[in-house]
Amino acid sequence: MNRIDELFLCKRNNILSIYFTAGYPELNSTATLIKLLAEGGADMIEIGMPFSDPLADGPVIQRSNETALRNGISLKILFNQLSGIRKTINIPLLLMGYLNPVLRFGIENFCKKCSETGIDGVILPDLPPEIYKKEYSGLFSRNGLYNILLISPRTDNERVRIIDSISRGFVYMVSSSSTTGVKGQFTERQIEYFRRIKEMNLLNPLMIGFGISDNSTFKEACQMANGAIVGSAFIKFLSDKKPDKVLIEGFIDRIRNSSIT
């Protein structure tokens, strides 16, 4: 069974997924961070595959992509860093990034490597559902790999149903019409949108991402979905620190349990 399905089977609420950029802050931070996050209580991890032109990302993740590329990260190196990770890590691991480096790596080879490494899902924001379904869905399912698709406030109900029907694992609900980054508390309109989608009772679990930055946004998101994804806030937190057990546990605890920083 895909570990994403396993997770949602045994846990329905307050699921915390954390995004970080591979090769950031240092080239070889990747495996260490996965271990620290899993031990620190993250339910799922999204590993960013750096790209020179991250269109859907705000400044914080843009910078982390630039730094990681300067550090020398590539897909080839990332898969090396991840080899053997399944000896110790059991939570779902996803790769998130843009289509061009994946195509350049060779999409068949990419799916095969994911499957060998124990990657459960992939998030490629610039691969639209129509193209995925037509060109790649067979390949992904042969490799037991889930492609996670996004919905946004401007995705109408009919399209949400289509995306839900193509999705496996969960549906990634982008919290506002925006690039990634921290924006403060949710507005009335966002809550209304969360409610609209929640009331649709999708086939797949729902995770809310983009702009989840603290305990209050996390808690609010968890009332409207199965869980939430923290990205920019974690990258920002990492930027001036050497990650260790205490720091990572502290970060996760603040997101889950208290708004005091």
Residue 48 as a binder of another protein (CB under 8 A): the answer is: no
CB 43 within 8 A of CB 7: yes
Residue 167 as a binder of another protein (CB under 8 A): the answer is: no
Binding mask 89-128 for another protein (x = CB under 8 A): ---------xxxxxxxx-------------------xxxx
Residue 53 CB, shortest distance to another protein, in Å, is 5
Residue 201 CB, shortest distance to another protein, in Å, is 20
* Burial of 150: CB neighbours in 10 Å, binned 0-12, 13-18, 19+: buried
* Burial of 134: CB neighbours in 10 Å, binned 0-12, 13-18, 19+: exposed
Residue 76 as a binder of another protein (CB under 8 A): the answer is: yes
Pairing type for strands 171-174 and 15-21 reads unpaired
Annotated active-site residue 156? The verdict is no
Identity of the residue, 179 or 213, whose beta carbon is nearer to another protein in the bound complex: 179
- Please give the C-alpha separations between residue 125 and each of 48, 185, 205, 232, 239, in angstroms, as whole numbers: 12, 24, 18, 16, 24
Instruction: Considering only the stretches 136-144, 172-180, 193-201, 252-260, report the one whose residues sit in contact with another protein under the rule CB under 8 A.
Output: 172-180
Instruction: Tell me the helices (H) and strands (E) count for the chain, helix number first.
Output: 13, 9
Chain positions 133 to 152 lying near another protein, rule: CB under 8 A, are: 149-152
CB atoms under 10 Å from CB of 257, counted, come to 11
Annotated active-site residue 57? The verdict is yes
Q: Which stretch of DSSP H or E encloses residue 48?
A: strand 44-48
Residue 125 CB, shortest distance to another protein, in Å, is 4
Catalytic residues: 46, 57
Interaction site with another protein (CB under 8 A) = 51-53, 55-56, 58, 62, 66, 69, 74-76, 98-105, 125-129, 131, 149-152, 154-156, 159, 163, 174, 177-179
